[in-house]
Amino acid sequence: MKNVRIAVVLAAALALALALAGCGGAPGVSSASASSAASASSASQQGKAVVQINTEGVGEIAWAYEGEKIAFDDEYPVQSAYVSDAFGQTIGIEAREDASYEGYKFVKWNKDGRKFSEDRRIDVLVDGDAEYVAVFAFEGADGEDVLSLNYGGSEAYTQEDIDAAFDAIMAEFDTWTGATMKRLAFTDDATCAADLEYCNSLREAADPAFTQAIVIMSDFHSPSGADAEGTAWEPDTDYEDYSWHLARTDGGEWKLLTWGYA
């Protein structure tokens, strides 16, 4: 019995020593977990993420940290905001129509150029750089949507460059009898640069190598009735985030190469 008691005491002592050694005196937390937590805390304190909040069309946005009330500025409506110190936190973002501009209605939130939510109020966990865009569309007196154009924030292309790409797209789209284009939106410089190799793979042998590429996203409404027959579209249907790929050489004219879903 004496030997058994000694063994039990030694085992308990050994277990206590291992627990203290493995967690530096904090039972249940490994040194690796503590290191990760410290890194996350450091990243949070340093704000290593930038959230951009913008509008497309005419409308307003407001935001607040989790637990705080979102408040719109009635005197100076906000269309754009930057949050640079919220890594690891949840922020609330809300959109509303601008009462000064009748006809513009909130449609959806896009995140990094892709549809994210149709709710006016969204709560997002900040885990990296991101751009949220509140999309507003104008509804005319006849109930038809007016084409919305979004030029983004390009450093590589001017508005004239992007307009030229829009024009090339519409020249093709106008041949789609009965279809209605609702939105054209520039993606971003990184997406366009990454698309150059793909565009060069599509060029004809007689074409010089392309030096610039541009990717445009669109929303459109497909034809209905007889106009839809023989097309690839479901009749009378909204299509969103439909991409168009164009390229050019040394600042020349854009060539529309392909379009569709990735």
Instruction: Give the pLDDT confidence of 172-221 residue by residue, as tens digits.
Output: 999 999 999 999 999 999 999 999 999 999 999 988 999 999 999 999 99
Distance CA 225, CA 235 (A): 7
Distance CA 88, CA 43 (A): 8
Question: pLDDT class for 239, splitting at 50, 70, 90?
Answer: very high
From 25-29, 71-75, 111-115, 166-170, the region with the lowest mean pLDDT? 25-29
Sorting pLDDT into bands at 50, 70 and 90, what band is 80? very high
Percent of the chain with pLDDT over 70: 79
Confidence class for position 20, pLDDT limits 50, 70, 90: very low
CA distance 172 to 85: 44
What pLDDT does 139 receive?
67
- pLDDT tier, 96 (very low <50, low <70, confident <90, very high otherwise): very high
- Residue 248: other Cβ atoms inside 10 A: 20
Residue 50 has pLDDT above 60, yes or no: yes
Rounded Cα distance between 139 and 142, Å, is 8
| Average pLDDT over all residues of the chain | 81
Average pLDDT over residues 123-145: 80
Q: What share of the chain is helix, strand, coil (3-state, %, to 5)?
A: 25, 35, 40
Q: Identify the band that residue 256 occupies on the pLDDT scale cut at 50, 70 and 90.
A: very high
The token duo for 157 is: 């292309």
User: Rounded mean pLDDT of 76-83?
Assistant: 91
- The C-alpha atoms of residue 128 and residue 88 are separated, in whole angstroms, by 9
Residues counted in the chain: 262
- Residue closest to 114 by CA, chosen among 183, 11, 62: 183
